[in-house]
Amino acid sequence: MGEWSEDNIKSVARVLRVFNICSGLKINIHKSHLFGIGVNMGEVEGMAGILGCQVGALPFEYLGIRVGANMNLISNWTPVVETIKNRLSSWKANTLSMGGRMTLIKSVLSSLPIYYLSLYKAPCNVVDQIEGLMNNFLWAGSSEAKKVHWVSWEVVTTTKNDGGLGVLGWYIPIPLVLHSMLVFLA
C-alpha cells in the first residue's frame, strides 16, 4: 500500500471516510484489525492507535477460514474434521436407512469441506480422514463404529452413470470441484 508512515495511515482513514460518505456503508473500525508485515510491532500498535482499531497477528480467522496459516499442516484442518464429526454425532444414524445415510452424505457432509477446499488443497491424510468418516457413517451408521464395507469407497465415489453411488470424492483437483459446483448452480 505504500511506505509505512503516519501520513499514509491518515490517508487510509480519509479513504475509508470517503467510502463511507459515497456508499453509505460504514466500516466498524472497532472490529477492524491492522496487520503489519515486516514491520516492528511497536509501529503497528502506534498506527492502530491512530486509526482506533485493534492490532492483528497472523494467522487469523476470517469467515471461518484460517488466513496466514500453513494449510499443508494437518493440525490446521482440525476444525473442518471436527465440524464433520460433530455433525455426524448429532444424527441418529442407526435409525436411518442406507438410502437416508447416503442422502445425508451427498447433501450435507460432502458440502461441509467445500468452503475450505475452494481455497486450499487439503493434505492427503485429511482427505483420507474425511472420507473415512463418511465411509464409516455410510456402512456402520456412526463415524467410530467399524462394520463390513460391502462396496469399496472407489465405487461409492464413482458417478451413477458409471455404476457407482455418486458421492463426491475429494481426490478431485480443486478447479474441477469448483467447475462442477458452478455447473450444478447454473
Model pLDDT for residues 6-45, shown as the tens digit of each residue: 888 888 889 989 999 999 998 898 899 988 888 888 888 9
- In DSSP terms, 61 is beta-bridged to 66
How far from 9 is each of 5, 23, 49, 57, 80, CA to CA, in Å?
6, 21, 10, 18, 36
User: What would the mean pLDDT of 116-140 be, rounded to a whole number?
Assistant: 84
Beta strands in the chain (DSSP E): 33-34, 54-55, 60-62, 65-67
Name the one residue in this structure whose C-alpha cell is 499443508: 72
Model pLDDT for residues 56-97, shown as the tens digit of each residue: 988 888 877 888 888 889 998 888 889 888 888 888 777 888
C-alpha cell at 163: 455404476
